[in-house]
Amino acid sequence: METFSSLLRTREVLVDWMNEQLASLDMSWIDYDLLSVIEFIGGGQMPLGKIRFYVRRFIVHQTSITNVVARLSDRGIVTTHQDANDGRVTVVELTPLGRRRLRRAHTILAEDDFGLGSLSKAEQRTLIELLYAIRLDHKDVHPIAEE
């Protein structure tokens, strides 16, 4: 139980840290996560349904994703439009402002290794491997990112 509690508490500490770091950009960790998925997986635009698939793996409810997209759209960070080939599909696209904000957010978070700066690179790699073993045991088969 102690290990499980420590994992949950660490997640909360890191989310709070990210929110503090991103506050100057008027962003939250959910905003950053969603924008990162659009940029790094979707190449700058992605159907809303695919965003929901990727972001839900980070414990964000699908309804919340729709609300986050609407909020980011109101602030000019993303735009939405219907897919040209399938009008039932809503596509979310980063604006130039959204790309600039995402780059700045990434720089801010990377300055302290995304909140893990107190760990050496070897310790971070060990942590990734330990957590991956747990995820694999629970059928979460996303590969370990190579450096």
Whichever domain contains 44, its CATH number is 1.10.10.10
Q: Which of 38, 39, 48, 41 is nearest to 83 (CA)?
A: 48
Residues 69 and 58 in one domain: yes
Amino acid (one-letter) located at 84: A
Q: Is residue 101 part of a domain?
A: yes
Write down the pLDDT at residue 60. Answer: 67
Write down the pLDDT at residue 139. Answer: 83
**pLDDT 10s per residue in the chain (147 long)?**
999 999 999 999 999 999 999 999 999 999 999 999 999 888 999 998 888 777 766 666 667 888 899 999 999 999 999 988 888 899 999 999 999 999 999 999 999 999 999 999 999 999 999 999 998 898 876 655 544
The total of structural domains in the chain comes to 2
**pLDDT tens track for 47-60:** 988 887 777 666 66
* Cβ atoms 17, 87 nearer than 8 A: no
Residues 111 and 128 in one domain: no
What residues make up the domain containing 142? 116-147
Residues 105 and 129 in one domain: no
Residues 22 and 41 in one domain: yes
**Separation between Cα atoms, residue 47 and residue 89, nearest integer Å:** 6
Single pTM value for the model: 0.84
